[in-house]
Structure 1
Amino acid sequence: MLLLCFFIGRIYQSEQGPPLHRWHTWSADEMSPDEIDHASFAGYLSREEAIFRDMRLNLDNRLSEDEKTAINRFNARSPVYPAHFHTDWNRSFVLMPQGAPKGIAVLLHGLTDSPYSMRYLAEDYQQKGFIAVVPRLPGHGTAPGSLTRVNWKAWLATTRLAVREATRLAGSPLPLHLVGYSNGGALAIKYALDQLDDPALPAPQQIVLLSPMVGVNGYARFAGLAGWPAWFPAFARTAWLSVVPEYNPFKYNSFPVNAARQSWLLTQALQSQIVQQSRRGKLAALPPVLTFQSITDATVSTAAVVNALYRYLPRNGSRLVIFDINQAANISALFRAALPSATDRLLPKAPRSYATVVITNATPATLHASARLTPAGSAVEQVEPLSLSWPQDMFSLSHIALPFPLNDSLYGLHPSVVNRYGISLGAMALRGESASLNVGPETFMRATSNPFFDDMMTRINQHIACSQQADYASCIDALP
């Protein structure tokens, strides 16, 4: 009886929302996990090209007149139409360094995202002499309907494929760095854990994580139930948790039930494997993990990063960088009571097996930032002033802000080229009555770029530099 009431409520709730469009019902013909495991990267790119060709024919070219709005990413006449840009960052890409490569990096984007979010890190690795391989994970970069059919095992198979391609391009064994953002972070850790049991997989030397998806909201566990009524065509809308306009050229705005379900399944597999490998004593062979995480994150669980990952890591040079809230924000009276002390409550008491860095205000009254470093195995905190400051009106970072500098043309607070991709989302400041919009007001309130991006890259580059040292472990352990 309760289940029936749930379904009736779910159907009623979904029917109150906007109707589905062609981009919600069209889905890409992606490779299966087994096909990916037996494919070459060239074969994967060939399938990718066929997918985009099919999308143009059966989605973009078949929009109704009322769907051809000015900022619909599927409208060929829209300024946000990805195929118009010099580079369509929805596609997989590879960056080769000048001269002989010094290492290889595989960079994995997040859920509903695209390779665009890995652009800056990939270019940095290229400049440091690395081959950078950035795959488009199945179900992404095309239309949100593609996420209704994909599963996390296809994403993990694509991770293995990207490592195979990077290794092939290198021609000889080179240091491997895995870089993962959000869902891509979960995939990077999962690959490293799998490698501990499978020596045939190339072993990573370093893992770099941005807003990693180690844990998600508990509702995701039951997301599959929420979509059951969609088996009946009349209730197809229940397969979606949100249906909103698609105005972002490199990220989906609509979110299907299956995406939430797959994220939960992946994190459950990941957390279980971390515990198992810890009990077996195998985590001693895990490479150093460098993580950047906002203390406030509405997409993934910040606490899970500490309690489900870092608590199990050996003392191997791993480091956790936490971006605190802006303690000097002039809206402190509006903060939830627990927020100002959230970072102190998050971290277990020192000494810890890993180093921590907390990026926060130099004093509660100034926007200038400092870094509070506690080395692994120490209870003594060191404070280093930074030459960076909080923007006046930004009270925290967010899940989506970390990979983007303030001058990013799409997400930046101060875009270097306004509307380079048809819209500059990070610089938009809408004012009006909230009920007038068909997206939630939080959509344009969330921070979309990182004022501490340069400091983050400096810390990543320190780890890249250690790759070239004979004693990598000692180099990592000696980092400030």
Structure 2
Amino acid sequence: MAGFLSRSLRRVLFGVLALLLIIVALRVWDVRSGPPLGPWHEFVPPELSLEAIDRADWAGWMAAEDAAFAATRREVTDRLDAMDRAAALRWSPDSPVNPTRFVRDWNRSFVLEPSGAPVGVAVFLHGLTDAPYSLRHLAEAYRARGFLAIAIRLPGHGMVPGGLTEAVWEEWMAATRLAVRAARARVATGPLHLVGYSNGGALALKHALDAIEDQRLPQADRLVLVSPMVGVTAFARFAGLAGLPAFLPRFAKAAWLDILPEFNPFKFNSFPVNAARQTWRLTSAIEVQLDRLAQAQRLSALPPVLTFQSVVDATVSTPAVLSRLYDRLPENGSELVLFDLNRSLRFGPLFSAGADSAIDRILPAATRRYAVTVVGNDGVGVAGVARRIAAGSAVEAVTPLGADWPRAVYSLSHVALPFPASDGLYGGEPDPADAMGVELGAIAVRGERGVLVMDANHFARITWNPFFAYLLDRVRGGMITAPP
């Protein structure tokens, strides 16, 4: 019997080894046929260590950020060859999408001051490969209501995608703690809100969970999560295997899942293996912590959570938002706002069975411990309505939104929710006064193949929210109005 088990074990080990060799061989072939790395992929800007971030104050963080941007300018911008300088590359000095040419470089951490004494403070946490730019509209809304708004650039972001080849989620959490410390140092009393988008939503949730277990951490009074990364695809778990050949310098490109042109001033298009790996590590840590606190019956200490999520999301798992988070929440005033498909006759017959039934699959039957609002059609045409069922109720209240589904839009996307149609970069009707060098959201792709620097599918994904005004009203509803 022992000999049989030994032979079986050897066969399993040989099978696993053979599979790894096949993966490595396929990755070697893939990276050899792909585009070359640029200096923006190879340079890793100097960032504060995890321990240094936990010791730093806001002034120290900003000084270190200035030094990292200066190093990026020396090592990337100043060393670009003639071909790269002529391209529409975000680091080229004369490029229309170079963020240093704008009134404000939204890649950097920022603070928005209210006109009077702050009534509260809000901390903003952006998404993966993203920048503080993505939350500027929500930050401005908070500032207008008398809140001090603090948005931190997370380590590895904002400068070059090479920074994400070494960043780890523990450093992002340390930056989150720093921003909250800085917020409470500036505004010691009044409400504290954490506003997170995508990966930033995971960080906001993790901080609130950490504050339950560590009373030294300031606890938020409210969480606002936009397309939160509570769960990711199974591929992220094994993404590290795709980077195995990168340990040999000749195959350094294997450290990247995507190597793409960089024409977006406030988001990286290239995506390293390490970034996918860190998303899985972070979401796994959150799931373990949610389980632990639920078993200990301590989730009652979690603040109310307001979440905005598209029913169909190709980046994060919409079902995980319900099964991992909302199904565990106490009855504490939390609400989930789901953006449904455009179910007008224009698109209805074209939906796949999986997409058409998505909302029915993921939503548990009422009554629920949290409120649910579904933003969709009025049942007749393209007019938008919000259908809300309060916590503990099964009665649906329908509110017209005064906004229609745009003609060519069949759903929202992961990236669309925090941007109005007027956003200068991502909006469908960009405001000329908000020019960002390129109007990515307004591009209607028609033409010949092989002309654009990106595949046409890249521009087909909607990047703005036709119901942003409703989202903003719901966020404002939880703010304290500043005195005149």
Which TM-score tier does this pair reach, normalised by the shorter chain? over 0.9
> Is 2:471 aligned against 1:460?
no
Contact 2:124 2:152 in 1 (8 A): yes
Q: How much has 1:334 moved relative to structure 2? A: 2.9
Q: Secondary structure at the match of 2:480?
A: helix
> Is 2:283 aligned against 1:261?
no
Q: 1:344 to 1:467 in 2, by over 3 A?
A: farther
Which of 227, 232, 249 is matched with 1:211 structurally?
227
- Structure 2 partner of 1:37: 54
- Structure 1 partner of 2:393: 378
Which digits, 9 at most, give the CA deviation of each residue in 1:178-201, with x for residues without a partner?
Answer: 000000000000000000011111
Farther-moved stretch of structure 1 (436-445 vs 264-273): 436-445
Q: Distance in 1 between matches of 2:240 and 2:356?
A: 35
Q: Distance in 2 between matches of 1:103 and 1:119?
A: 17
Q: How much has 1:441 moved relative to structure 2? A: 2.2
Q: 1:434 to 1:300 in 2, by over 3 A?
A: farther
Q: Distance in 1 between matches of 2:356 and 2:20?
A: 40
Farther-moved stretch of structure 1 (53-62 vs 415-424): 415-424
**Larger Cα Rg: Structure 1 or Structure 2?**
2
Farther-moved stretch of structure 1 (64-73 vs 211-220): 64-73
- Structure 1 partner of 2:418: 403
Contact 2:122 2:149 in 1 (8 A): yes
Q: Distance in 2 between matches of 1:360 and 1:217?
A: 26
Write the mapping of 1:257-406 to structure 2, written as runs, cut at 5 A.
257-328=273-344, 330-363=346-379, 365-406=380-421
Q: Which amino acid aligns with 1:340?
A: D
Q: 1:294 to 1:434 in 2, by over 3 A?
A: farther
Contact 1:148 1:256 in 2 (8 A): yes
Which digits, 9 at most, give the CA deviation of each residue in 1:324-358, with x for residues without a partner?
Answer: 01111623333212222321221001101100000
Q: Secondary structure at the match of 2:479?
A: helix
Contact 2:423 2:434 in 1 (8 A): no
> Is 2:108 aligned against 1:74?
no
Contact 2:50 2:174 in 1 (8 A): yes
Q: Distance in 2 between matches of 1:7 and 1:151?
A: 24
Contact 1:70 1:79 in 2 (8 A): no
Q: Distance in 2 between matches of 1:327 and 1:418?
A: 34
| CA RMSD, 1 decimal | 1.4
Which digits, 9 at most, give the CA deviation of each residue in 1:296-336, with x for residues without a partner?
Answer: 11100001001111000000000000000111162333321
Write the mapping of 1:32-71 to structure 2, written as runs, cut at 5 A.
32-71=49-88
Q: Which amino acid aligns with 1:302?
A: T
Contact 1:418 1:424 in 2 (8 A): no
Q: How much has 1:439 moved relative to structure 2? A: 2.3
TM-score (normalised: structure 1):
0.95
Q: How much has 1:418 moved relative to structure 2? A: 7.5
- Structure 2 partner of 1:111: 128
> Is 2:456 aligned against 1:441?
yes
- Structure 2 partner of 1:246: 262
Q: Which amino acid aligns with 2:281?
A: L
Which digits, 9 at most, give the CA deviation of each residue in 1:232-279, with x for residues without a partner?
Answer: 010011100001100000000000000000011000001111111111
- Structure 2 partner of 1:475: none
Q: Distance in 1 between matches of 2:305 and 2:299?
A: 12
Q: Which amino acid aligns with 1:81?
A: N
Contact 2:419 2:464 in 1 (8 A): yes
Q: Distance in 2 between matches of 1:102 and 1:256?
A: 41
Which of 96, 101, 114 is matched with 2:118 structurally?
101
Q: Which amino acid aligns with 2:173?
A: L
Q: Distance in 2 between matches of 1:319 and 1:7?
A: 45
- Structure 2 partner of 1:471: none
Q: How much has 1:228 moved relative to structure 2? A: 1.5
Q: 1:328 to 1:190 in 2, by over 3 A?
A: same
Q: Distance in 1 between matches of 2:477 and 2:465?
A: 19
Contact 1:23 1:145 in 2 (8 A): yes
Contact 1:175 1:467 in 2 (8 A): no
Q: Distance in 2 between matches of 1:331 and 1:124?
A: 34
Q: Which amino acid aligns with 2:264?
A: N
Contact 2:37 2:259 in 1 (8 A): yes
- Structure 2 partner of 1:191: 207
Contact 2:418 2:465 in 1 (8 A): yes
Q: Distance in 2 between matches of 1:148 and 1:5?
A: 24
Q: Which amino acid aligns with 2:259?
A: V
Q: Secondary structure at the match of 2:275?
A: helix
TM-score (normalised: structure 2):
0.94
- Structure 2 partner of 1:25: 42
Q: Secondary structure at the match of 1:344?
A: helix
Contact 1:329 1:395 in 2 (8 A): no
Q: Which amino acid aligns with 1:294?
A: S
Q: Distance in 2 between matches of 1:69 and 1:318?
A: 51
Q: 1:41 to 1:411 in 2, by over 3 A?
A: same
Contact 1:329 1:392 in 2 (8 A): no
Q: Which runs of 5+ in 2 are unaligned?
A: 1-17
Q: Which runs of 5+ in 1 are unaligned?
A: 469-480
Q: Distance in 1 between matches of 2:230 and 2:101?
A: 36
Matched residues, number: 466
Q: Distance in 2 between matches of 1:186 and 1:459?
A: 20
Q: Distance in 1 between matches of 2:106 and 2:435?
A: 13
Write the mapping of 1:415-434 to structure 2, written as runs, cut at 5 A.
415-417=430-432, 420-434=435-449
> Is 2:150 aligned against 1:133?
yes
Q: Secondary structure at the match of 1:464?
A: coil
Q: How much has 1:289 moved relative to structure 2? A: 0.2
Q: Secondary structure at the match of 1:414?
A: coil
Q: Distance in 2 between matches of 1:265 and 1:95?
A: 32
Q: Which amino acid aligns with 1:388?
A: A
Contact 1:89 1:115 in 2 (8 A): yes
Contact 1:360 1:369 in 2 (8 A): yes
Q: Which amino acid aligns with 2:272?
A: P
Q: Secondary structure at the match of 1:68?
A: helix
Q: How much has 1:33 moved relative to structure 2? A: 1.2
Q: 1:467 to 1:453 in 2, by over 3 A?
A: same
Q: Distance in 1 between matches of 2:327 and 2:266?
A: 35
Q: How much has 1:389 moved relative to structure 2? A: 1.0
Which of 183, 186, 191 is matched with 1:175 structurally?
191
